[in-house]
Structure formats: C-alpha cells, structure tokens
Amino acid sequence: MRMFKIVTQLMAALMVLMVSAANASEEKTMAQDFTLKSLSGENLRLQEMRGDVILVNFWATWCGPCRKEMPYLDELHQEFADLGFSVLGVNVEQDSNLATDFINELEVSFPVLFDNKQQVSELYKVDAMPMTVMIDRNGYQRVLHRGYVDGDEEIYRKIIKELIRE
C-alpha cells in the first residue's frame, strides 16, 4: 500500500510538471470545439465555457474503470465549481438510455453529454476508456489521460489546482 501511495504521488508530480512545461511551451493545442446534447435536453457547446478550466471525461457504462471513476469526478466538480472549474462527462454509447439510467442512479451534479454517433470521440481520437482531457481557461488542451486506476483522482486534483492558479 505504501508503494502504491509513493507511485501515485510521483505520477501526480510528473503530471503537474507536464502541465507546467506545457504552460511554458510556445506551441499549444487548442481544444476542438463541439456541441452535444446533454442529459437535461439542452445543447452544450465547449467554446461557450471558455474562461473555465474544463475536465472532459469520455466514458461508457460497460467500462468498469469509468463506473468506478464517476463518483470521484463528481467530487472534483463540486469541490472546484466555485473556482471556475467544470467536469463534462461525454458518454460514447449509441444507446443513451443506458447512460441515463446509470447517471440517474449516481445523481452526479456535472453535465453529462451524449456522443451517440462518436463524432466528438473521433475528433479527440478517443482510443481508451475512460479518457480524460483537461482544458485550460484559454481553451488549450493541456492534459490527456487514458484509463483510470485508484489514485488518479488525486493526480487530477493537483492538475486542476495548477490550472486554476494560472
């Protein structure tokens, strides 16, 4: 258990350094804009959220790590919402009813969007589940994280704090 904690702390430090290095770099990648229908029935456009730090999480109900990660993402959303941070959950399944049932059961507070035709998933080259993209206040993609293991939420927390401070 101690070794796991050390590895998690090292990974977190490395991710924060990567964010800092990306900030110092002249060449940044602008996050691809998209509009998707949300669970509430409204369309949500990423570009309209510029000015906030955004964590976009691509997920599916059949993905065990996605299901495990979801409550942690909701905690992060609630913890940092007042500081200009949001989580967007992008479900990639063709049948959004499965996702709707799952989200209603969990009662997450962040917007859940439906990418039924996988257009946004293709735009972001989603090749793993879950896949998390962090976008800074200026709309630049700063972090790309594939998969989920216990402790990743602490890595996210440190990166979120760093991006909020910028």
Active site residues: 63, 66
Secondary structure E strands in 62-129: 85-91, 112-114
Residue pair 30/141 in contact (Cβ under 8 Å)? The answer is yes
Unique residue bearing structure tokens 């991710």:
15
Q: Which residues pair with 102 in a beta bridge?
A: none
Distance of CA 26 to the CA centre of its chain: 24
* Spatial separation of the C-alpha atoms in residues 160 and 154, rounded to whole Å: 10
Residue pair 86/164 in contact (Cβ under 8 Å)? The answer is no
